[in-house]
C-alpha cells in the first residue's frame, strides 16, 4: 500500500490496497497508526459487498448496531444505510445524515467509538463537483491551542453526553422523517459521562472530547458556567484552521478517528440528487478495557 498525505491538518489517501481481500496483521497495524496520525483515511476505487465492508471494519474493533435499529442492510445489522433515496412505496431507504451539524459519533455510549467506516456507492454531483462532502475538525490541535488555565481546569472534569439531544435536534429540522425515540430506545442509551480531555490511545497525546452534537453539561461546574464554557469550546474547536474536507467519489471508503476528530456531512444536495452510503461504526473496545473512556 501507499499512503499519500493530504498536506492539510488532517487526511491521507491509502492507495494500492484492495479492501475486499483479507487484511494482514502488518497492514492493519500500518493503518491503525496512520489513522491516529492523520485522523481521516480514504481508500479510493473500492468494489465491496456489504459483507466485505463489515469484515474490513471488524479488524478495528467490535461493531455497533445502532440504537435506532433502522435502515440496515438485510441480514447485516452492523451495516447501516445513509441515504436520501425513497423506495417505490414512498418510504426512505436509509437514514439521511444531511444537516446533522458537527458531532462525534457514539460519545453518547458507555463504550465510545474508535472509527467510522463509510463506503460511497452513489455520490451526488452538480456541475462536475461532488456534493454531500464530509468535513472534519482536528481535536489534537484544538486541545493544544486551548488556554493553559482552561486545560488545567478541564483536566479532571467530565461531560455528560446524551443521544436524545442529537436525535431530537434532527427531528426538529424542516422536512425530517425521523420518528421520535421510543421509551425503549431512550432507556437503551441513557446519558453517560466521559472525561473532557482524553488521552488518545494511539498517539499518546491529549484530545478535546466535547462535541456540540451530544455534549450536554460539564458536571463539575454550575449550569451557568458549564453553558458558558461549552459555548467557548464549541466555537473554539470549529475554527477553520482545524478543518479538513473530504470530497467524495463513487467507490471511496472513508474512515476517521472519532476520538481525534469531529465531523459534519455538508447538506448541499437536493432530494433528487441521490446519495447512498453504507456505514459501519467501530467501538473503541481494543483500547478501553471497560465500557468507559
Note the pLDDT tens digit of each residue in 76-134: 999 999 999 999 998 889 887 766 789 999 899 899 999 999 999 999 999 999 999 99
Cell 478501553 belongs to: 288
- At 118 the three-state DSSP class reads strand
- How many other C-beta atoms are found inside a 10 Å radius of the C-beta of residue 162? 20
pLDDT confidence bin for 164, thresholds 50/70/90? confident
User: Dihedral (C-alpha) 282, 288, 143, 256: value to the nearest 10 degrees?
Assistant: -20
Q: Which residues lie closer than 8 Å to 204 by C-beta, 6 or more apart? A: none
CA distance 210 to 216: 9
| Domains of the chain, start order | 2-283 (3.60.130.10)
pLDDT band at 177 (very low <50, low <70, confident <90, very high): low
Eight-state DSSP code of residue 262: E
**Confidence class of residue 166 from pLDDT cuts 50, 70 and 90?**
confident
Are the CB atoms for 156 and 189 separated by under 8 Å?
Answer: no
**Binning pLDDT at 50, 70 and 90, where does residue 263 land?**
very high
Contact 191, 161 (CB under 8 A): yes
Chain-wide mean pLDDT for the chain?
92
Among 31, 79, 73, 33, smallest CA distance to 55 is for 79
Task: Tell me the DSSP string of 157-215.
Answer: -EEEE-HHHHHHHHHTSTT--PPPPPHHHHHHS--EEEESEEE-TTT-SEEE---TTTE
Output the CA torsion sign for 213, 40, 159, 180: positive
Write the CB contacts of 144 (distance below 8 Å, at least 6 apart in sequence): none
At 69 the pLDDT is 62
Beta pairing, strands 261-265 & 134-138 = antiparallel
Partner residues linked to 3 by β-bridges:
14
pLDDT band at 68 (very low <50, low <70, confident <90, very high): low
d(CA 49, CA 119): 10
Percent composition of the chain: helix, strand, coil (DSSP 3-state, to 5): 25, 30, 45
Q: Are strands 12-15 and 40-43 parallel, antiparallel or unpaired?
A: parallel
Residue 102 DSSP symbol: S
Nearest to 268 by CA among 250, 245, 252: 245
Q: What SS3 class is residue 142?
A: helix
pTM reported for the whole predicted model: 0.92
In this prediction, residues 243-265 reach a mean pLDDT of 97
Q: Give the per-residue pLDDT at 289.
A: 75
Quick check: 236 pLDDT over 70? yes
What number is the average pLDDT over the span 136-144?
Answer: 98
Amino acid at each position: 500500500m501507499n499512503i499519500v498525505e493530504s498536506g492539510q491538518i488532517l487526511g491521507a489517501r491509502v492507495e494500492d490496497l484492495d479492501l475486499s481481500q483479507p487484511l494482514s496483521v502488518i497492514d492493519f497495524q500500518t493503518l491503525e497508526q496512520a489513522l491516529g496520525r492523520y485522523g481521516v483515511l480514504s481508500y479510493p476505487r473500492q468494489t465491496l459487498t456489504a459483507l466485505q465492508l463489515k469484515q474490513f471494519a471488524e479488524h478495528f474493533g467490535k461493531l455497533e448496531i445502532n440504537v435506532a435499529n433502522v435502515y440496515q442492510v438485510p441480514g447485516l445489522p452492523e451495516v447501516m444505510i445513509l441515504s436520501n433515496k425513497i423506495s417505490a412505496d414512498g418510504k426512505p431507504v436509509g437514514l439521511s445524515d444531511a444537516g446533522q451539524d458537527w458531532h462525534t459519533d457514539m460519545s453518547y455510549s458507555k463504550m465510545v467509538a474508535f472509527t467510522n467506516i463509510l463506503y460511497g456507492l452513489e455520490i451526488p454531483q452538480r456541475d462536475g463537483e461532488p456534493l454531500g462532502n464530509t468535513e472534519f475538525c482536528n481535536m489534537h490541535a484544538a486541545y493544544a491551542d486551548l488556554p493553559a488555565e482552561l486545560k488545567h481546569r478541564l483536566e479532571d472534569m467530565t461531560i455528560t453526553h446524551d443521544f436524545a439531544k442529537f436525535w431530537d435536534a434532527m427531528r426538529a429540522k424542516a422536512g425530517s422523517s425521523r420518528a421520535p425515540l421510543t421509551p425503549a430506545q431512550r432507556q437503551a442509551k441513557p446519558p453517560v459521562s466521559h472525561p473532557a480531555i482524553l488521552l488518545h490511545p494511539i498517539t499518546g497525546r491529549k484530545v478535546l472530547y466535547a462535541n456540540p452534537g451530544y455534549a450536554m453539561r460539564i458536571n463539575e461546574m454550575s449550569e451557568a458556567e458549564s453553558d458558558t464554557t461549552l459555548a467557548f469550546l464549541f466555537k473554539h474547536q470549529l475554527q477553520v484552521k482545524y478543518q479538513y474536507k473530504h470530497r467524495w467519489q463513487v467507490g471511496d471508503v472513508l474512515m476517521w478517528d472519532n476520538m481525534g476528530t469531529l465531523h459534519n456531512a455538508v447538506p448541499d444536495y437536493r432530494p433528487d440528487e441521490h446519495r447512498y452510503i453504507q456505514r459501519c461504526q467501530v467501538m473503541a473496545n481494543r483500547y478501553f478495557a471497560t465500557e468507559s473512556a
